[in-house]
Structure 1
């Protein structure tokens, strides 16, 4: 049974261009998430999983674009192939059908482990870079969500007894961020 080719794209930030991931790859439909790989909320991936049917092929640029870690990768690939959906990873040049040999399953695990290892190295280098930048006085951290006037209003509302959850929602920040502002003097 010949189904349709469906692309899945995940970019880590809103300013990244998703088009290059499936450039020159022919697909009938594309699902795009704009979220970090560690983020468990990937609504377009969930839509894709609900959309695909037996005989379809899901095309992804690379394994690290599909899954957060090796367990997640194996779960998604096995879940799809058990439903008769073929998985293709362009960068790795691998395809999985569910009728895969032990060697194909080994390749999935090894390549997935390499992708997980690469992400860990990137995080480690990022942490080291931040430490060095802090030592040089060049690291300022993330830009504050609120300006000083908004922070003052936030503190006034909390002091007046407003519910912190509502205050956070009104300012478009998380409760944790609200508590960080309250701790500042």
Structure 2
């Protein structure tokens, strides 16, 4: 049985292009996730991994749709191999049923990881440069009306940090950070 796995990074993105490809390739069942591929904790991916049986083949449009880093990709494909399930990536023309396909999978996984790392590095460098030029200041601090009053209540032991943070609508870590930024009480 051919089983397709389709993934887009956000719920707003369209899966139609990948689903049409799956239909053209004769895929009989499709699992679709609409979330980041940063890890393997994706509901439909997990269901598919449980569903596949000996002799099945998992088909993806590209390896980046299946996994975003080398380790996750190779671990997922190894789990498939242990179940005697094949893996095919259409874009990279990879089929793990052949020794050459297994080799190419490893090479493409490493290249995809390198590309992702380069993208993140360029992004960090761009932000650093923009900051140096005064064009990027990061996220604006959230408004916290009543912070001083709530911080005073917290310091006096009238509120716990959890209660104070909840009252201000922020996380406990943000509360601690914002209190630290306040001038110390006299």
Q: How many residues align?
A: 176
**Contact 1:33/1:44 (CA < 8 Å) preserved in 2?**
no
TM-score normalised per structure 1: 0.74
**Contact 2:58/2:87 (CA < 8 Å) preserved in 1?**
yes
TM-score normalised per structure 2: 0.74
**Contact 2:161/2:172 (CA < 8 Å) preserved in 1?**
no
SS at match of 1:149: coil
CA distance in 1, matches of 2:152, 2:15: 42
Q: 1:8 to 1:164 in 2, by over 3 A?
A: same
**Contact 2:7/2:65 (CA < 8 Å) preserved in 1?**
yes
Q: Which runs of 5+ in 2 are unaligned?
A: none
Q: What's the offset of the Cα at 1:88?
A: 1.6
**Contact 1:53/1:84 (CA < 8 Å) preserved in 2?**
yes
**Are 2:8 and 1:7 equivalent residues in the alignment?**
no
Q: 1:162 to 1:132 in 2, by over 3 A?
A: same
> What's the counterpart of residue 108 of structure 2?
111
1:74-93 superposed matches below 5 A: 74-93=74-93
Whose radius of gyration is greater, 1 or 2?
2
Q: Which runs of 5+ in 1 are unaligned?
A: none
Q: What's the offset of the Cα at 1:143?
A: 5.6
**Contact 2:86/2:96 (CA < 8 Å) preserved in 1?**
yes
> What's the counterpart of residue 147 of structure 1?
143
SS at match of 2:91: coil
CA distance in 2, matches of 1:44, 1:150: 44
Q: 1:25 to 1:135 in 2, by over 3 A?
A: same
**1:127-174 deviation per Cα after TM superposition (whole angstroms, max 9, x unaligned):** 111011112222132465x53338678757755333539946x94x65
Q: 1:177 to 1:15 in 2, by over 3 A?
A: farther
